[in-house]
Structure 1
Amino acid sequence: MDKGKKRLAVLVGCNYPNTQYELHGCINDVVTMRDVLLERFGFDPSHVQLLIDTPGSSVLPTGANIKAALDKMVNQAEAGDVLFFHYSGHGTRIPSLKPGHPLRQDEAIVPCDFNLITDVDFRQLVNRLPKGASLTILSDSCHSGGLIDKEKEQIGPSTDKNTIVSYSAKSIPLESILDHLTSLTSINTSDIGTHLLESFGADASLKFRIPQHESDLFEPLKADEGILLSGCQANETSADMNAAEIGGKAYGAFSNAVQMVLNQNSGELSNRQVVMMARKVLEAQGFVQHPCLYCSDGNADATFLWQANAEVESY
Structure 2
Amino acid sequence: MDKGKKRLAVLVGCNYPNTQHELHGCINDVVAMRGVLVGRFGFDPSQIELLTDAPGSLVLPTGANIKAALNEMVNQAEAGDVLFFHYSGHGTRIPSLKPGHHFRQDEAIVPSDFNLITDVDFRQLVNRLPKGATFTILSDSCHSGGLIDKEKEQIGPSIIKNTTSVSYRVKTIPFQSVLQHLSSLTSINTSDIGTHLLEFFGADASLKFRLPQLESDLLELSKTDEGILLSGCQADETSADMNAIEGGGKAYGAFSNAVHMVLNENSGALSNKKVVVMARKVLEAQGFEQHPCLYCSDGNADATFLLQPEAK
Same fold (TM over 0.5): yes
| 1:107 has 2:70 as partner | no
5+ residue gaps in structure 1? 311-315
For residues 74 and 35 of structure 2, what CA distance do their matches in structure 1 show?
22
Offset, 1:55? 1.5
Question: TM-score of the superposition, structure 2-length normalised?
Answer: 0.98
For residues 214 and 64 of structure 1, what CA distance do their matches in structure 2 show?
23
The residue identity in structure 1 corresponding to 2:188 is I
> Partner of 2:285: helix, strand, or coil?
helix
Offset, 1:59? 0.7
| 1:197 has 2:183 as partner | no
The residue identity in structure 1 corresponding to 2:250 is K
* Counterpart residue number, 1:124: 124
For residues 102 and 217 of structure 1, what CA distance do their matches in structure 2 show?
24
> Partner of 2:307: helix, strand, or coil?
coil
For residues 213 and 309 of structure 1, what CA distance do their matches in structure 2 show?
43
Q: Is the 8 A contact 2:127 2:218 kept in 1?
A: no
For residues 99 and 168 of structure 2, what CA distance do their matches in structure 1 show?
37
> Partner of 1:181: helix, strand, or coil?
helix
| 1:207 has 2:203 as partner | no
> Partner of 2:288: helix, strand, or coil?
coil
Residues 126-205 of structure 1 aligned to structure 2 (within 5 Å): 126-161=126-161, 162-205=163-206
Residues 80-91 of structure 1 aligned to structure 2 (within 5 Å): 80-91=80-91
The residue identity in structure 2 corresponding to 1:46 is S
For residues 114 and 214 of structure 2, what CA distance do their matches in structure 1 show?
26
The residue identity in structure 2 corresponding to 1:150 is K
> Partner of 2:57: helix, strand, or coil?
coil
* Counterpart residue number, 2:292: 291
> Partner of 2:305: helix, strand, or coil?
coil
* Counterpart residue number, 2:4: 4
Q: Is the 8 A contact 1:271 1:302 kept in 2?
A: yes
Offset, 1:215? 4.8
The residue identity in structure 2 corresponding to 1:59 is V
Question: TM-score of the superposition, structure 1-length normalised?
Answer: 0.97
For residues 296 and 128 of structure 1, what CA distance do their matches in structure 2 show?
16
* Counterpart residue number, 1:313: none
For residues 254 and 261 of structure 1, what CA distance do their matches in structure 2 show?
11
Identity of aligned residues (%): 84
Q: Is the 8 A contact 2:108 2:118 kept in 1?
A: yes
The residue identity in structure 1 corresponding to 2:237 is E
Offset, 1:56? 1.2
CA offsets 1:184-243 (integer angstroms, 9 cap, x no match): 100000001001001100000000001404455311112410000000000000000010
* Counterpart residue number, 2:46: 46
Q: Is the 8 A contact 1:160 1:288 kept in 2?
A: no
C-alpha spacing 1:257/1:198, structure 2 compared with 1 (3 Å) = same
For residues 89 and 214 of structure 2, what CA distance do their matches in structure 1 show?
32
5+ residue gaps in structure 2? none
For residues 217 and 164 of structure 2, what CA distance do their matches in structure 1 show?
40
* Counterpart residue number, 2:282: 281
Aligned-residue RMSD, C-alpha: 1.0
Q: Is the 8 A contact 2:41 2:308 kept in 1?
A: yes
| 1:14 has 2:1 as partner | no
Offset, 1:268? 0.5
CA offsets 1:125-177 (integer angstroms, 9 cap, x no match): 00000000000000000000000000000000001222211110000001001
For residues 264 and 78 of structure 1, what CA distance do their matches in structure 2 show?
32
Q: Is the 8 A contact 2:131 2:224 kept in 1?
A: no
> Which stretches of structure 1, 4 residues or more, deviate above 4 A after TM superposition?
none
For residues 152 and 179 of structure 2, what CA distance do their matches in structure 1 show?
31
